[in-house]
Amino acid sequence: MWWRAHSLSRIWVGVATLAIVILVASMIPVPPATPQTDPTGTVDTTTLLHIAGYATLAAGGVIAVARDGWPWRRRSRHVEIRAVAGVVALVALFGVGTELLQATIPWRTFAVAEIGLNAASATGGGLAAMWFYRPVE
């Protein structure tokens, strides 16, 4: 059927789902019971969440591009530097967008440092996926 040839893979659906989860989590109020730092008391919880979220989002995007290609282009099995850069740029722009949205919400705050953290996390996740991912032949 024609729709099967154009359907999204599960990994793209997972990447989109994670992006929605990050967006929603960026908009809701932070519960008062949320710990402010990690168990050692050295790293802010929000910093850890930014790193985990944006690195995973970028890694998933790189793996999706490596396995299936871009959703609107033909399938490709190898990851090019341009594809990794594209995924990292899209994830970083997503981070900018979430921070700009937070600036409009009274219970959230806009932080330029978090934009940099999101971009750095996306870069690390994208490069790690490029380095460690080996497609199954």
Q: According to the model, what pLDDT value does residue 67 have?
A: 79
Q: With H, G, I as helix, E, B as strand and everything else as coil, classify residue 66.
A: helix
pLDDT digits (tens, 9 = 90+) for 4-58: 445 568 888 999 999 999 999 999 987 776 677 767 777 788 888 999 999 999 9
* Domain range annotation of the chain: 2-29+36-132
Calpha distance 16→13 (Å, rounded): 5
pLDDT digits (tens, 9 = 90+) for 64-89: 888 777 665 555 555 577 888 999 99
Angle at 49 between CA 59 and CA 30, to 5 degrees: 140
Q: Is the pLDDT of residue 117 over 80?
A: yes
